[in-house]
Chain A
Amino acid sequence: MTKHDAIVYVVDDDDAIREALGGLLRSVGLTMIGSGSPREFMAHDRADAPSCLVLDVRLPGASGLEFQRELAAANENIPIIFITGHGDIPMSVRAMKAGAVEFLTKPFRDQDLLDAIQGALATDRARRDQERSLSDLRTRLASLTEREKQVMAILVQGHVNKQIGAAIGTTESTVKAHRAQIMRKMQAATLADLIRMAGRLQFGAEPVA
């Protein structure tokens, strides 16, 4: 994965700051999309790439902290780096408690901002990977037949083929065939793999039909 498929969003009402940040990020090969206001930011189509948001605390209209709350309420998980005119400790504590990655005082050192951005992008990348693999797993699970799901539910509870056969009223060899299909479709190498996948999918937590 190269740096280019990461995007840094900057929301600051000051054109000069947006331009300066754009220049700095270009010098390290990062793509920046700048907005003058939260509204403008929300109007953008967001690229499907690891990203983070550099947000000025002092914004016309809603404050950066309010916007942070709005994003959280809208289930937007983008990591936020706050930049602020002066170091207000209680404010930064509030921002950090609400999940901000970093709180930088203007003027900041370029390296501090770049480190914060790299950290935020890494966090977002990991979250996206997690989300992606989870949605992969869901697709795989969806490809199972009802019968196979039934078998898998009992299987991941640690029962052997014979017990499963008795439970669903079929022969041991039929169970064995189902089991091979399940392992193939779920792309699980071992039973331990399958159990882990079921855990992530929270499969089996709900009653099986």
Chain B
Amino acid sequence: MPLRLLNSSAGLRNDNQTLAAPYALALLLVAAALASTLLLQTVYVGRPPLFPFFAAIAAAAWFGGKGPGYFASAVSVPLGLYFYVVARPDHDLHFRDFLLFVFFATCAFLGGALNSRHRKTEDGLRSAHRDLQAKATELQHANDALLAEMAERRRTEATLEAMRSKLGRVMRLTTMAEMAASIAHEINQPLTAIVTNGETCVRWLNAAEPNIAEAQDAAKRAVRDAERASQVVSRIRAMVRNALADREQVSLQACLDDVLALLLADLTAHQIEIRCEVPPALPTLFGDRIQLQQVFFNLLTNAIESLSETTGRQRDITISAERGRENTVVILLRDNGAGFQDCEPEQLFDSFVTTKPSGMGMGLSISRTIVETHGGTLTASRAIPHGAAFAITLPLSGEEP
């Protein structure tokens, strides 16, 4: 609405300014017609033609409208009288001079009227057009605003969705680590009891006077605890079977993209350059997408943690994939961080092995378990000249993307 208001006020100002101007213009035009007629008279034998006046009237009516048109006619008529009747070349006043003058005057008024009418119609059309255009602009503005609002809403929704799925993934990754730790605890408890009971049994048997009854009790307790441990193991097996039910076709590229998006902030914060080259025509993997993401997440997190302590060279992570033997894919993850130093790479895959002050030592162990349940292998080696390299071999499902 403010737009239209602005338009009309502009029009109003225009009208006020040009109220007197058309009459001045009409006068000026008639004067020009007079000047040119007088000029014609000097070169013309006999009475000069009075066309310039028609032109002036027509122009005045066209530019100024009805009032200035009649005004120009009114000014032109006495001048016509002058030329036809007063300043006639022959000294006799003929009837045809009057006739010509009347004809001139009629034409002058007619010209003014017709022109101004035409002008009025034209103006009407033009103002209608202007109104239409204003309406169209207004609509266009409204449309633009709506589009911007929709784009904004889509962006917000996309951000929200990204945050939700990131949260979901982080939560699942954390629960998996926690689950692994709690499984370790559940196995470790009966194991501790078994060891203690076994040792107790041996103590009773080795005593100066062996106590068979006590030794038997201890041995029975050990057996009972071993049964409990084996129950935990079957529970884990069932869990893995359930996890197998979640399997689907997974694109390696999409899987890596998701994890990299999740780690983007970390990578940027530590100025790590990442190169990821996966052949575009690689067939899909068959597995649990979240679990496979967890593997890349763990390995990349380790690489980032190692690189964050690395100074004096550009920090790089390279991920590449190529087809291996018998329809497999070999995925290589390399960083140029400090590497494994004195540790034997193979040992790092054991649970709870960590060199970090607040490390959990579960990352590599979980990752290897996941890769192996997918029918693959995960190995570590030293990268040349610095850093760590991890190779994941996984079977391809054979379906081209």
Chain A interface residue count, CB cutoff 8 Å, equals 23
| A177 part of interface (Cβ distance < 8 Å) | no
Name the contact of A14 in the complex, choosing from B193, B199, B214 (C-beta under 8 A): B193
24 pairs, A vs B, C-beta closer than 8 Å: A16-B189, A16-B228, A17-B193, A17-B196, A20-B193, A20-B194, A20-B196, A20-B221, A21-B196, A23-B197, A24-B199, A24-B203, A26-B214, A27-B203, A27-B207, A27-B214, A27-B218, A85-B189, A86-B185, A86-B352, A106-B191, A107-B195, A109-B195, A110-B196
In the docked arrangement, what's the CA distance between A108 and B195, Å? 8
Closest residue of A by beta carbon distance from B189: A14
Interface status of A19 (Cβ within 8 A of chain B): yes
Q: Are A24 and B192 closer than 8 Å at their CB atoms?
A: no
The reply to whether the CB of A158 lies closer than 8 angstroms to some CB of chain B is: no
Nearest neighbor of B190 in chain A, beta-carbon distance? A16
List CB contacts (< 8 Å) of B120-167 with chain A. Answer: none
In this complex, what residue of A is CB-closest to B206? A27
Number of interface residues of B (CB under 8 A): 27
**With A28-B203, A90-B358 known to touch, is A107 a contact of B352 (CB < 8 Å)?**
no
Given A14-B193, A107-B191, A110-B203, A86 and B184 contact (CB-CB distance below 8 Å): yes
- The complex places the Cα of A24 from the Cα of B192 at a distance, in Å, of 12
The CA-CA distance from A97 to B83 in the complex, in Å, is 127
Q: Mark B162-199, 1 if CB is under 8 A from A, else 0.
A: 00000000000000000000001100111111111101
Instruction: Determine whether A125 belongs to the interface, using a CB cutoff of 8 Å to chain B.
Output: no
Known interface pairs A14-B193, A106-B192. Does A20 touch B225 (Cβ–Cβ under 8 Å)?
yes
Docked complex Cα distance between A109 and B352 (Å): 19
| One of B191, B193, B200, B228 near A27 (C-beta < 8 A) | B200
Alpha-carbon distance between A193 and B358 when the two chains are bound, in angstroms:
54
Chain A residue contacts of B224, Cβ below 8 A: 16
Whether the Cβ atoms of A20 and B185 lie closer than 8 Å is: no
- Chain B interface (Cβ < 8 Å from any Cβ of A): 184-185, 188-197, 199-200, 203-204, 207, 214, 217-218, 221, 224-225, 228, 352, 357-358
Cβ contacts under 8 Å, A60 to chain B = none
**Smallest Cβ distance from B115 to chain A, in angstroms?**
100
- List the interface of chain A (C-beta within 8 A of B): 14, 16-17, 19-21, 23-24, 26-28, 58, 83, 85-87, 90, 106-110, 113
Taking a contact as CB atoms under 8 Å apart, the answer to whether B188 and A108 are in contact is no
* Chain A nearest CB, measured from B193 CB (Å): 4
Query: Which A residues touch B357, using CB under 8 A?
Result: 90
On whether the beta carbons of B204 and A16 are closer than 8 Å, the reply is no
Residue numbers in A under 8 Å from B228 (CB-CB): 16
Output the least CB separation between A24 and chain B (Å): 4
Chain A positions within 8 Å of B203 at CB level: 24, 27-28, 110
Q: Which of A23, A26, A90, A110 is in CB contact (< 8 Å) with B221?
A: A23
Q: Nearest Cβ in chain A — how far from B79, in angstroms?
A: 113
For residue B189, which residues in chain A have a CB less than 8 angstroms away from its CB? 14, 16-17, 85, 106
Q: How far is the CA of A108 from the CA of B191 in the complex (A)?
A: 10
- How far, in whole Å, are A108 and B198 apart by their CA atoms in the complex? 12
CA of A97 to CA of B167, assembled, Å: 38
Least Cβ–Cβ distance between A64 and chain B, in angstroms:
14
What residue of chain B has the Cβ atom nearest to residue A58's Cβ? B185
Instruction: Output the nearest chain A residue to B204 by Cβ-Cβ distance.
Output: A27
Closest 3 pairs (CB-CB, A-B):
A20-B196, A110-B199, A16-B193
